Structure 1
Amino acid sequence: MAQGTGGAVDAGMNEAIGLESLAMERDGETVLDSVSMTVAPATWFGLIGANGSGKTTLLRGIAGRLPIARGICRLHGADLSRSREERARLTGFMPPIETLPERLSATDLFEILCGDHVTASGNIGDLAAALDLDALRHRPIGQCSAGMRQRIAIALAFAGGQPIVVLDEPFNWLDPVAAYDVRAALREKVRTGLTLVTALHDLTTLTAACDAAALLRAGRVQERYSATDLRDAARSPLEFERRMIAGLRSR
């Protein structure tokens, strides 16, 4: 595996996200410790790891939904470690589906987030077709299945038009057709300039769609994967899975 930072670039114009010795705490306990990585602009970066490894906490820290205890978090070269508001302004965030208000519709939420649903629709763009969003726009969320809510949550992450988007397990609850279409639409958004960071359990998406990745274990980066590593893994998926599981089991 690559021992440098997957997708690593110099800080500044060529860096979308830069983390240095980042630590985060929940309820007084350290959840992430000494996390360092770099994500290049217009790339898809994958985070993998067992439940409880810190993936969700890291995404929420980058997106300004949680404070950073120590270390540095740069977005497009600016150190925003102590500014949750600025990190949130620059980062699209997918809310957990259980937090979506049941009496409101997707259109209601777009208007709250952007001021009007037309702006939100423009920002979501072609991803709307992959999400079959037109069928959901006016349906109260309380009448939506888990898969429908997941599609709305993904759309909300893009509605604000931020240059960086973080998605936590976006393919959960999606049927195979929707997952395939959404993956292709996300890849196209990255091709046209989006920086995307996703927590994943799906090794197919990791190796087929991501440009770089990191494996988290117990709040630390255990492995880093470059684009070459991931392409090699796609050619030998069972061997890659075996090595990854061995890494997760190791102490």
Structure 2
Amino acid sequence: MTPAVHLVGATVARSGRVVVHGVDLAIAGGSWFGLIGANGSGKTSLLRALAGRLPFAGGSCRVNGDELVTDRAARALRVSFAPPADKLPDALRARDVLELVGGAIDGVRSRIADLEAALGLAELLDRWIGDCSAGMRQRIAIASAFAGGHAVVVLDEPFNWLDPVAIFDLRQAMRTRVHGGLTLITALHDLGTLATACDTGLMLADGKVAMTLDEQRLKAAGHDPQAFEIQTIDLLRSRTA
């Protein structure tokens, strides 16, 4: 079966410096892929390039079988990416942000009804972004990633600034969407979420693949998350020392 996302030798440069070196990965459609690594490991740069927000400097990037490594616009159309919550414009309301991405608000709300409930979005629709807390902004940013109805969604540390109830409800809603065919790619710092929610993943260190996390390994991690956490932290320490 053709992967929903397939990178071979993917390389990303920032300001003339290579920050992601020759990454290979294959993500099956209808699965949740987790990307972990220390700060500065290249996670965000890789995800931004995948979603067309940055160029690739080399390698191959196929989305549903189509080679798009040189076509940023096509990647941006195929792969949704949540904007940084702190960059949302203060002078817009939540509904304005969602309409910019997904069109008329009634259509957006219909597409994201399950997520709207999980994120408590109804009470935020008419609130000005400038009056929102960090957690509220994060809820709006996440909702905007789903507003366009994309089949592939990228979220960079989506659980930052959310309270425990919102984290639980959002995880459940996103897992239901994955079961329904969504391909979800998330950068994470929470090893518990990686072990219990993701189907596959990988660890980046200094822009290179340090560990590939296949389905079998993550299933084992879910059964013994403490052992997985110790093993993963030890590897991260060794690669960042």
Pair in the same fold by TM > 0.5: yes
The DSSP-based 3-state class of the residue aligned with 1:72 is strand
**Distance apart, 1:122 and its partner CA:** 2.3
Which residue is equivalent to 1:33? 21
Which residue is equivalent to 2:105? 117
Deviates more, 1:241-250 or 1:79-88: 241-250
Q: Alignment partner for residue 203 of structure 2, among 215, 220, 235?
A: 215
Partner Cα distance (1:217, 1:120) in 2 = 37
Q: Deviations over 1:223-249 (max 9, x none)?
A: 111121111112222211111112112
Q: What letter corresponds to residue 4 of structure 2 in structure 1?
A: A
* Percentage of matched positions with identical amino acids: 51
User: What pairs up with 1:119-134 in 2 under 5 angstroms?
Assistant: 119-134=107-122
User: What pairs up with 1:94-113 in 2 under 5 angstroms?
Assistant: 94-113=82-101
Q: Alignment partner for residue 80 of structure 1, among 55, 59, 68?
A: 68
Deviates more, 1:32-41 or 1:228-237: 228-237
Partner Cα distance (2:155, 2:111) in 1 = 16
Q: What letter corresponds to residue 122 of structure 2 in structure 1?
A: D
Q: Deviations over 1:147-188 (max 9, x none)?
A: 000000000000011110000000000000100000000000
Which residue is equivalent to 2:162? 174
Q: Deviations over 1:39-75 (max 9, x none)?
A: 0000000000000001111110110000000001110
The DSSP-based 3-state class of the residue aligned with 2:53 is coil
Which residue is equivalent to 2:40? 52
Q: Alignment partner for residue 124 of structure 2, among 136, 156, 165?
A: 136
The DSSP-based 3-state class of the residue aligned with 2:203 is strand
CA contact (8 A) 2:199 2:214 kept: yes
Which structure 2 segments of 5+ residues have no match? none
Which residue is equivalent to 2:230? 242
CA contact (8 A) 2:196 2:221 kept: no
Query: TM (normalized to structure 1)?
Result: 0.93
1:148 aligns with 2:133: no
**Distance apart, 1:98 and its partner CA:** 1.4
The DSSP-based 3-state class of the residue aligned with 1:47 is strand
Partner Cα distance (1:71, 1:135) in 2 = 44
Which residue is equivalent to 1:16? 4
Deviates more, 1:201-210 or 1:190-199: 201-210
1:203 aligns with 2:215: no
**Distance apart, 1:219 and its partner CA:** 0.2
Q: What letter corresponds to residue 222 of structure 2 in structure 1?
A: A
Q: Alignment partner for residue 179 of structure 2, among 191, 201, 210?
A: 191
The DSSP-based 3-state class of the residue aligned with 1:205 is helix
Moved over 6 A (4+): none
Which structure 1 segments of 5+ residues have no match? 1-9
RMSD: 1.0
